[in-house]
Amino acid sequence: MRFDALTLFGVIAVSLMVVCYALESRSHWYTIGMAACCAAASVYGFLAGTWPFGVLEALWGAIALVKWHRRVNNRATLFRGGR
């Protein structure tokens, strides 16, 4: 097995993604971090030639981005005194 810069990039992206996923309930910043790490893992997937992984990570990143957007909007509504 070759451990080159691309493999290191993938290991870091996926490792940070798992950490952000585990800490998501603590802050909306971990949710946006999850989305960013999914995007990085998607780039890794395409560069490594595993396009199904790249597509799924992009989809998961989009879902995390929507989740982050909803969390931020709900938080802003609570600060304004909304329901």
Specify the pLDDT at position 76.
63
Q: What is the mean pLDDT of each run of 10 residues along the chain (83 residues)?
A: 89 97 94 97 96 97 95 74 57
Predicted pLDDT at 78: 61
Q: What are the structure tokens assigned to 5, written together?
A: 């810069």
**Residue 2 pLDDT:** 73
In terms of pTM, does the model score above 0.75?
yes
Q: Residue 80: what pLDDT?
A: 64
- Which residues span the domain enclosing 70? 5-79
What's the CA gap between 75 and 7, in Å, rounded? 38
Tokens of 3: 């451990």
C-alpha span between 7 and 4 (Å, rounded): 5
**Number of structural domains, the chain?**
1
Contact 13, 26 (CB under 8 A): no
